[in-house]
Amino acid sequence: MKFLDQAKIYIRSGDGGAGCISFRREKFIEFGGPDGGDGGRGGDVWAECVEGLNTLIDYRYQQHFKAQKGEHGMGKNRAGAKGRDVVLKVPEGTQILDEDGETVIADLTKVGQKILLGRGGNGGFGNAYFTTSTNRAPRRANPGQEGQERWIILRLKLIADAGLIGLPNAGKSTFLATVTAAKPKIADYPFTTLHPGLGVVRAYSREFVLADIPGLIEGASEGVGLGDRFLSHVERCRVLLHLVEGTSEHAGKAYKTVRHEIEAYGHGLADKPEIVALSKVDALDEETLKEQLARLKRASKRTPYVVSAASGQGVQEVLQALLSVIDAAKVEAQTVDTQEEWHP
């Protein structure tokens, strides 16, 4: 299991330590009195977004995380030590959801973000706390408060500027391997890609991140094939590159099949900017290429690009189109952020 994008884990913050009942009794001390210390506070459970992680594989074999309990109070007014915290380290783009799988607790998209998931219980008061002018020798102390426990779901959504979508064997992995240093599995059979892949594209003195996901087939929204679960990894993309295999029976029908599954998936994915390209054109004769282009143009209602990742034909044109859409989306996002800053 090289890639894990979802995990259900149990967390529990530490219980607070109990207060102490103690009295000072020393030789030659005329007046003693209560000197029981307070219990220590239980440890907290945190989630932190860190660098260097791109999967949730750390949570496959360990699903229970418990913070340390607070130490009990002691005599001589000694308070118990606080319990050690537990920090769950997660990659960028991790969503933390409640047990129902729908309520979003946090969305960690930047390195350094940190959120408290479970607060440790307060320590109990020792009997020294209850001393009053009328009760000089209290014989009571509080137990520590219990920690918080819950089940949570960690769901990773890769953060990329552009995403590759299409049917199996549409040439997505070949395109990723051509334009980036990534080395996805490439073979002449469907579903060679079983988990999402990322690569950094360097073109025209700029860089952007390209994500490749397993192919969709008809009925993916109902769980056919690998399903549409991996579509969550292109939810954050600014633009989608839809590759349609030129050697398929009907390029237009292939395009509509994937679009139907995207619309069924929802989450605003169907509204994202889309660039359509006919792939594997080096394997087509001129007549077939012209026919497939016409079919794809009618189905997508736009002029598709012509691409062959194996020979490099049309690759630079597609990259230039992707960069233009990404740049426009970044400018729009900066404008929105500036407006929110001036008009909260």
Which residues define the annotated binding site for GTP?
166-173, 191-195, 212-215, 279-282, 308-310
Q: What does the H/E/C string look like for the chain? A: CCCCCEEEEEEECCCCCCCCCCEECCCCCCCCEECCCCCCCCCCEEEEECCCCCCCHHHCCCCEEECCCCCCCECCCECCCCCCCEEEEECCCEEEEECCCCCEEEEECCCCCEEEEECCCCCCCCHHHHCCCCCCCCCCCCCCCCCCEEEEEEEECCCCCEEEECCCCCCHHHHHHHHCCCCCCCCCCCCCCCCCEEEEEEECCEEEEEEECCCCCCCHHHCCCCCCHHHHHHCCCCEEEEEEECCCCCHHHHHHHHHHHHHHHCCCHHHCCEEEEEECHHHCCHHHHHHHHHHHHHHHCCCCEECECCCCECHHHHHHHHHHHHHHHHHHHHHHHHHHHHCC
CB-based burial of residue 244 (10 Å sphere; 0-12 exposed, 13-18 middle, 19+ buried)?
Answer: buried
- Binding-site members are 166-173, 191-195, 212-215, 279-282, 308-310
- Binding-site members for Mg(2+) are 173, 193
